[in-house]
Structure 1
Amino acid sequence: MTKGTELLRQAAAENVPSALYDLAVSYEKGIGTKKNTRKAYELYLRAAIWGDKQSYHEVGRCLFYGIGV
């Protein structure tokens, strides 16, 4: 795990929407952490709930293509 990923996890624990979104991207693509599409979907959903507008699109994309659901 990279230092950046660790910082994103800390911010995501505080429900910072942009951190939730960025951490989801990291999990979906396997950047700085092991690829985990289920975790990515969950983080996109949390980010959307906390108001990250790009995450609305990502949740829909995951549902449409069956990514992590």
Structure 2
Amino acid sequence: MGIWESANNVTFKYGEFSIFKSAVGLNNYKISVKEWVEKTNAIGLKATAGRCGGTYALPDIAFELVCG
């Protein structure tokens, strides 16, 4: 996710991503899509609440998550 955002999003906050990256692998580490988008200014994922809500990804990211 960080690599894709760095390559395709000029407003991506790489410093915030570094904080998340360092916490990955800890037993108590959890992050929501909403938190990811808010803190890193990510554009590749989107979470919507309510009826017909869900988590959406751009095709490049969705393909990697499903087939990667």
Scaled to the shorter chain, the TM-score interval is 0.3 to 0.5
Higher helix share: 1
Task: Tell me the TM-score normalised to structure 2 length.
Answer: 0.34
* Larger Rg computed on CA atoms: 2
Task: Tell me the TM-score normalised to structure 1 length.
Answer: 0.34
